[in-house]
């Protein structure tokens, strides 16, 4: 564990030079290996600030607060969600020009807005789970405002090449070789290259309701492949899945998902106490999902690599490595498959105890970015790091001033989605500042 003197702190907190926030000013704890490298530093600029208009024309919205997601796609496409003061929700896409000395928005598009009428006649109330792939295509779970026999329950929609949201699956739809009927309860979604789409959904069967994970190559419901369902057994165990949470996947087939499970009904009937549900993190390949690996679970799962029963946000790297945050009663940890790369037993570069992590996200070249939190007597600090398999390099921190000046950073809201970094190493996320303003921020590597 690193030990930092006051001199170290002064040096580390003075890592800005000519508007550049220098990377590599943080810890260099040894990891699991190298092979990729992080940029030397970044220029950070506000792209859109709360209080400003976003979108154009009749579909513009005055941003009151930013939502929970920011995505970076190729060709400078930034996608984020926001709310106005009345609670109307919008999903925006900006085309950002990075050819000059500062990023410039060349086009603003309102991709989805409360009150929109979809192609199937539904009126948009709000959208929940959604994902954006490298081409800027959007998959979204949309809830309608109409509450009638024709308009209720959520639907899964896909917007390709900005052509509008087309329904993939809605309540009452019969799918997967006419075996299942959708209940309109749809969970997390993951959209990747070629519109490879992975999602969790509840459905009716001939016997009983189930929740399942489905893979749609090309985003086509006719191509649906069943990955796993509640009632299926966890690999090499007597435990049956009872539900599925956050998921991620690659178009070439690697996937990871959080799941809940418990002993089979027969075995649990002979157990005293509650239902014994356990949360786990598993990974596998869509070509053979039954042969999945249990990365993390509670102590009763002896075949689990890590012993922790609370998890959030699996992130699948380009080589199939799964990064995530796991937690037990004593600590939180960041993992890369079977390797623990950081824990809350360590301290920040300031010398404060680390209190928590975000699950992070992985760049197209395999660098893992994450933020850590420390709750001190001086307030809550957020530090953004890049991990290249060997070193943890500080990228941005509470108290830093961005390259465009203004109020210092107070909080960094990072890794709410899987796609905060583009192929050129540029970053996008939301920052809150000391003057209580907030903005979508982009980072340009030096």
**Pairwise CA distance, residues 445 & 427, whole Å:** 8
Main-chain dihedrals φ then ψ at residue 75, nearest 5 degrees: 60, 30
Percentage of the chain modeled with pLDDT above 70: 88
Whether 322 has a pLDDT exceeding 70, the answer reads yes
* Local confidence band at 62 (pLDDT 50, 70, 90 cut-offs): very high
**Pairwise CA distance, residues 283 & 314, whole Å:** 9
Q: Give me 227's structure tokens.
A: 């990955």
Per-residue model confidence (pLDDT) at position 147: 61
SS3 266: helix
- Of 92, 87, 161, 155, which is closest to residue 121 (Cα–Cα)? 155
CA angle 46, 49, 52 (to 5 degrees): 135
In sequence order, the 6+-apart residues with CB closer than 8 A to the CB of 2 are 27, 28, 29, 346, 347, 349
* Local confidence band at 278 (pLDDT 50, 70, 90 cut-offs): confident
Q: Give me 309's structure tokens.
A: 């029963």
Residues β-bridged to residue 124 = 144
- 211-256 pLDDT, tens per residue? 999 999 999 999 999 999 999 999 989 999 999 999 999 999 999 9
Residues β-bridged to residue 127 = 142
* Average confidence (pLDDT) over 194-199: 98
* Local confidence band at 20 (pLDDT 50, 70, 90 cut-offs): low
Whether 25 has a pLDDT exceeding 60, the answer reads no
> Could you give the strand order of the β-sheet that contains 306-307, starting from the edge strand earlier in sequence?
239-249, 254-263, 278-285, 293-297, 306-307
- Of 88, 95, 80, 83, which is closest to residue 51 (Cα–Cα)? 83
Count, residues in the chain: 446
**Pairwise CA distance, residues 327 & 330, whole Å:** 8
The DSSP call for residue 99 is S
Write down the residue that tokens 């749609």 correspond to. 216
**Pairwise CA distance, residues 40 & 391, whole Å:** 13
What is the DSSP track for 329-343? SS-EEEEETTEEEEE
* Local confidence band at 416 (pLDDT 50, 70, 90 cut-offs): confident
Per-residue model confidence (pLDDT) at position 439: 98
Per-residue model confidence (pLDDT) at position 313: 86
**Pairwise CA distance, residues 70 & 56, whole Å:** 19
pLDDT higher for 67 or 312? 67
In sequence order, the 6+-apart residues with CB closer than 8 A to the CB of 206 are 179
* Average confidence (pLDDT) over 114-118: 95
Per-residue model confidence (pLDDT) at position 23: 62
CA distances from 386 to 27, 265, 274, 309, 424 (A): 10, 44, 41, 26, 15
**Pairwise CA distance, residues 362 & 371, whole Å:** 12
């Amino acid at each position: 564990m690193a030990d930092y003197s006051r001199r170290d702190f002064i040096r580390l907190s003075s890592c800005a030079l000519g508007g550049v926030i220098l990377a590599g000013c943080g810890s260099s704890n040894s990891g699991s290996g190298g092979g990729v490298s992080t940029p030397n530093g970044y220029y950070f600029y506000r792209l859109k600030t709360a209080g400003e208009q976003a979108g154009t024309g009749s579909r513009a919205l005055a941003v009151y607060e930013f939502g929970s997601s920011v995505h970076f796609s190729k060709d400078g496409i930034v996608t984020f969600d926001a709310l106005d003061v009345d609670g109307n929700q919008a999903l925006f896409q900006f085309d950002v020009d990075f050819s000059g000395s500062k990023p410039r928005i060349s086009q603003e598009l309102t991709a989805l807005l409360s009150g929109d009428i979809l192609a199937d006649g539904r009126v948009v109330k709000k959208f929940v789970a959604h994902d954006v792939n490298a081409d800027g295509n959007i998959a979204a779970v949309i809830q309608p405002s109409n509450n009638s026999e024709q308009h209720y329950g959520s639907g899964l929609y896909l917007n390709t090449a900005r052509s509008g949201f087309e329904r993939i699956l809605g309540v009452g739809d019969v799918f997967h070789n006419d075996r299942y009927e959708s209940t309109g309860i749809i969970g997390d979604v993951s959209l990747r290259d070629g519109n490879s789409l992975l999602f969790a959904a509840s459905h009716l069967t001939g016997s009983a309701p189930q929740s399942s994970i489905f893979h749609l190559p090309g985003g086509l419901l006719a191509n649906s492949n069943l990955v796993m369902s509640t009632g299926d057994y966890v690999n090499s165990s007597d435990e049956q899945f009872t539900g599925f949470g956050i998921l991620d996947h690659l178009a070439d087939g690697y996937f990871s998902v959080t799941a809940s499970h418990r002993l089979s009904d027969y075995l649990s009937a002979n157990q005293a106490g509650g239902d014994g549900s356990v949360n786990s993190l598993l990974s596998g390949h869509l070509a053979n999902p039954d042969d999945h690996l249990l990365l993390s679970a509670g102590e009763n799962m002896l075949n689990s690599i890590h012993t922790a029963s609370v998890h959030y946000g699996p992130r699948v790297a380009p080589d199939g490595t799964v990064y995530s945050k796991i937690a037990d009663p004593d600590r939180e940890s960041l993992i890369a498959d079977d390797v623990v790369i950081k824990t809350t037993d360590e301290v920040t570069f300031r010398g404060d105890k680390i209190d928590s992590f975000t699950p992070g996200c992985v760049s197209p070249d395999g660098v893992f970015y994450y933020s850590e939190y420390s709750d001190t007597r001086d307030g809550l600090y957020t530090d953004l790091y890049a991990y290249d398999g060997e070193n943890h390099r500080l990228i941005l921190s509470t108290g830093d001033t961005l390259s465009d000046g203004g109020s210092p950073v107070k909080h960094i809201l990072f890794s709410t989605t899987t796609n905060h970094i583009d192929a050129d190493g540029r970053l996008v996320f939301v920052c809150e500042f000391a003057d209580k303003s907030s903005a979508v921020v982009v980072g340009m590597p030096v």
